[in-house]
Amino acid sequence: MNPNLITSTSDTIDPIFMAYFGIALVLLLGVTVTMIWFVIRYHRSRNPQPTSQVASNLWLELVWTIVPTLLVLGMFYYGWAGYLALRNVPAGALAVTAEARMWAWSFIYPNGKTSNRLYVPVGQAVRVELVSRDVLHAFYIPAFRVKRDAVPGLSGYVWFVASKAGAYDIFCAEYCGVGHSAMTTSVEALPAADFAVWLATTAPGSVDRGRALLAEHGCLGCHSLDGSAGPGPTFKSIFGRAESVRRDGQVVGIVVDEAYLREAILHPEAAIVVGFDPIMPASADLKPEELAAILSTLRGLP
């Protein structure tokens, strides 16, 4: 396998998978057929007394030693060549950083633009640098056969090529807390011209930006916008709502205002709404303008 001839990660994984599957299938059929033949041919009713006097067979022992050895070496070679192809990123790849946090993905582009979906151009290699802001996550795109852990404090990467336009699922494949199942997003593969336009587009207005930030930071995985129940209180009609919170070991009543929401976002452990568990991670890495956009969005929700 020549890594220079690889045009996508699927070109690496799929042939190796099919080869391994084929080898396993042939071995399964061979062993099963041989076992059935032995059961019939050497059944006690046919051979009540052992008749063979053969103590060993040199050629048979050579075959079942050499053939499996060559088979395993061949599998190792193709697996290693495939691994190298997956680690050698093609020249001219688009560099994107994927930030993982409980429980959302955020993607940062070279020009500083961010999004909660991974937008990529069709036909161009994309290198995704993996960063975790809290716990262990795993970046997994089944359609492109890529999966790699995002480990706090360590840097890792994957690369892939979207050969045609469309949406492709992204999952977190490592259990990372109660919102793990909601930590999903997608690759949005666009024609090169459309991607260039999207990348050059300025950020949306503050209200829309705030909603996008809620999604990027995983807030919508626990807090619904429509009033439905979740691991955290719903955001619907949150401004001015009366709540009971546990603060310093005591239950007190409050009216949700901007000061409380700011505290709840930056220091979520300070006052926990009664009936909910203290599972929300702090959002200390929020920029002041991002926090303002989120608060503006929450204030404007019906």
Same-domain status, 147 and 73? no
Cα 135 to Cα 281: distance, rounded to the nearest angstrom: 10
Same-domain status, 107 and 32? no
Residue with tokens 């059961």: 39
Same-domain status, 81 and 98? no
Same-domain status, 71 and 101? no
Which of 158, 184, 200 is the last residue before a domain boundary?
200
**Do 146 and 187 touch, CB atoms closer than 8 A?**
no
Tokens at residue 65, please? Answer: 């030693």
Q: Which of 136, 225, 128, 235 is nearest to 180 (CA)?
A: 136
Q: Provide the pLDDT for residue 205.
A: 44
List helix spans (H) across the chain.
9-41, 58-87, 192-200, 206-216, 258-266, 288-300
Same-domain status, 73 and 104? no
Same-domain status, 67 and 126? no
Tokens at residue 49, please? Answer: 């007394």
Same-domain status, 162 and 237? no
> Is 0.85 topped by the overall pTM?
no
Same-domain status, 186 and 253? no
* CATH code of residue 230: 1.10.760.10
Q: Provide the pLDDT for residue 202.
A: 58
Which of 176, 200, 224 is the last residue before a domain boundary?
200
3-state secondary structure of 256: coil
Same-domain status, 149 and 78? no
Which of 167, 200, 233 is the last residue before a domain boundary?
200
Each residue's pLDDT, cut to its tens digit, for the chain (302 residues) gives 444 444 677 777 888 888 889 999 999 999 999 999 988 888 888 777 777 777 788 888 899 899 999 999 988 988 888 888 788 888 889 999 999 988 888 898 988 888 888 999 998 999 999 999 889 999 999 999 999 999 998 889 999 999 899 999 999 999 988 888 888 899 999 999 999 988 887 554 444 677 777 877 778 778 887 787 878 888 888 888 888 888 888 888 888 888 888 888 888 888 888 888 887 777 667 778 888 888 888 887 76
Report the number of distinct structural domains present in the chain.
3
Same-domain status, 142 and 49? no
Same-domain status, 253 and 176? no
Full residue range of the structural domain in which residue 38 is found: 3-87
Same-domain status, 163 and 215? no
* CATH code of residue 109: 2.60.40.420
3-state secondary structure of 3: helix
